[in-house]
Amino acid sequence: MKTPQKATSNNIRKAAKILAAGGLVAFPTETVYGLGANALNAQAVDKIFKAKGRPSDNPLIVHIANQRELKMVARDVPEVARKLMKKFWPGPLTFVLQKTAAVPDNVTAGGKTVAVRMPKNKIALALIKAVGCPVAAPSANLAGKPSPTSAEHVSEDLDGKVDMILDGGKTFHGLESTVIDVTRKKIEILRSGAITAEMLAKVLGYKPKIVTNKTGAKGKVRSPGMKYKHYAPSVPLFLIGISDEKKMVRLLQKELVVLTKKKMRVGVLCVKEHASFYAAAKYPSMKKIVTCGSLKKPKKFAQELYNALRKFSKKNVDLILAENIGKEGIAHAAYDRLSRAATKIL
Ligand code: AMP
Ligand code: MG
């Protein structure tokens, strides 16, 4: 059993030694916790796929701490990408670039491009600096589970499978980084995140297209990770897709009535101010309510979403009904993850 260890400078040094020796370390970033290995060591990277049960056709993001490391993994960095890096790095923006020969094939799932990010979290940066080389790190969850936003989530999923878990508390954004492809004429978003299309547009002069493929897509896809249903809780989830507040509440209430007739045990995921609308006294099928952020605080909703999803289990409910908080800005990223977690959108 590997209990999380506080991210003191001493433990960061220990973690760096583990990574340098080809081991696995889970560490916090400002998005979610990452499961790191030396990105230039194919055998170490292979351990990530094994520990997570991650399909080998799903490439990893390489995390760097400085320009020297960018040069080690990527070539032909376009001027416009440099402009975006200047504005958003360190931060939750990942660039898909042409890879160098130094990057092992398993990092990129055999492709010619590599995804690179400089995280903002101090622990992550200190760790990468201490190792002195780029660190490949997907989210530190078992494949098929929501990404971890606390060290406890990591330990729930990966206890005994990693050499060390660094505890840096709850992550700041709570959703994975925005991924952009900068290898084409026009920049495109492959995964939405805290850096929104609107924020990118201010630098680019145009709003980049969002081309994330649908869950379940077959064959070669632009954003391989997005075809997997890896944001899912352990029970089926129905997402209320209407964003109009009154209509959304009414539809969820209606569904609760339908599910009561079917004798289902239902979990409700909703914003704080709506909790009383779904009270068990009125809706006997409602067995567990988990509140997440508020309509006025979409950032908080994003931050708490994965933790909220992990609170439902087969033991307490048969199905989850989830509200949405709109589809613009950061709410877009939250909606994207919820719709991928969903069995059905109502
Ligand atoms: P995760 O680390 O779990 O957040 O997943 C990494 C994400 O980055 C996945 O959705 C991948 O599809 C995406 N990704 C990594 N490398 C590439 C690449 N070379 N081209 C396109 N997407 C990539
Ligand atoms: Mg992931």
Q: Which residues surround ligand 2, an ion (CB under 5 A)?
A: 139
- pTM for this prediction: 0.95
pLDDT digits (tens, 9 = 90+) for 22-59: 999 999 999 999 999 999 999 999 999 999 999 999 99
Q: How many domains does the chain have?
A: 2
User: Looking at per-residue confidence, does 228 or 235 come out higher?
Assistant: 235
pLDDT band at 273 (very low <50, low <70, confident <90, very high): very high
Residue 60 Cα to ligand 2 middle (Å):
9
Q: What gap in Å lies between CA 197 and CA 207, rounded to an integer?
A: 6
- Counting ligand 1 atoms within 8 A of each CB, the residue from 31, 54, 61 with the most, and so the one to mutate, is 61
pLDDT digits (tens, 9 = 90+) for 93-109: 999 999 999 999 999 99
The verdict on residue 218 lying in a domain is no
Residue 260 Cα to ligand 1 middle (Å):
40
Distance linking the first and last C-alpha atoms of the chain: 41
Q: Give me the pLDDT at residue 218, please.
A: 64
Among the three residues 192, 210, 228, which one is the final residue of a domain in this structure?
Answer: 210
Residue 298: which CATH number? 3.40.50.11030
Is the domain of 245 the same as that of 202? Answer: no
Residue 78: which CATH number? 3.90.870.10
Per the structure, the complete domain to which residue 199 belongs is given by 5-210
Is the domain of 143 the same as that of 275? Answer: no
Closest Cα to atom 5, ligand 1: which residue?
Answer: 138
In 118-177, DSSP assigns E strands to: 135-136, 164-167
Q: Give me the pLDDT at residue 1, please.
A: 46
Is the domain of 189 the same as that of 46? Answer: yes
Is pLDDT above 50 for 155? Answer: yes
Is the domain of 30 the same as that of 116? Answer: yes
Token duo for residue 313: 């289990």
User: Looking at per-residue confidence, does 228 or 39 come out higher?
Assistant: 39
pLDDT band at 222 (very low <50, low <70, confident <90, very high): confident
Among the three residues 195, 210, 225, which one is the final residue of a domain in this structure?
Answer: 210
The verdict on residue 230 lying in a domain is no
pLDDT band at 216 (very low <50, low <70, confident <90, very high): low
The verdict on residue 28 lying in a domain is yes
The verdict on residue 232 lying in a domain is no
Alpha-carbon distance values, 38 to 17, 47, 152, 251 (Å): 11, 11, 23, 48
Least confident of 47-61, 205-219, 279-293: 205-219
Q: What is the mean pLDDT of the chain?
A: 94
The verdict on residue 224 lying in a domain is no
Give Cβ neighbours of residue 107 (< 8 Å, ≥ 6 apart): 39, 42, 45, 59, 60, 62, 114, 136
Residue 223 Cα to ligand 1 middle (Å):
6
Is the domain of 268 the same as that of 203? Answer: no
Ligand 1: which atom is nearest the Cα of residue 60?
15
Is the domain of 179 the same as that of 262? Answer: no
Neighbours of 197 (CB within 10 A): 20
Residue 109 Cα to ligand 2 middle (Å):
15
Is the domain of 44 the same as that of 129? Answer: yes
Is the domain of 165 the same as that of 58? Answer: yes
Give the residue among 145, 154, 140, 178 at the shortest CA–CA distance from 334: 178
Is the domain of 144 the same as that of 14? Answer: yes
The verdict on residue 326 lying in a domain is yes
Q: Give me the pLDDT at residue 215, please.
A: 66
The verdict on residue 226 lying in a domain is no
Among the three residues 145, 175, 210, which one is the final residue of a domain in this structure?
Answer: 210
Q: Give me the pLDDT at residue 220, please.
A: 63
Site of tokens 């990118």: 200
The verdict on residue 321 lying in a domain is yes
Q: Give me the pLDDT at residue 3, please.
A: 86
Sign of CA dihedral 224, 229, 232, 234: negative
Is the domain of 40 the same as that of 164? Answer: yes
Region 147-174 average pLDDT: 97
pLDDT digits (tens, 9 = 90+) for 117-148: 999 999 999 999 999 999 999 999 999 899 99
Is the domain of 315 the same as that of 201? Answer: no
Is pLDDT above 70 for 337? Answer: yes
Is the domain of 138 the same as that of 284? Answer: no
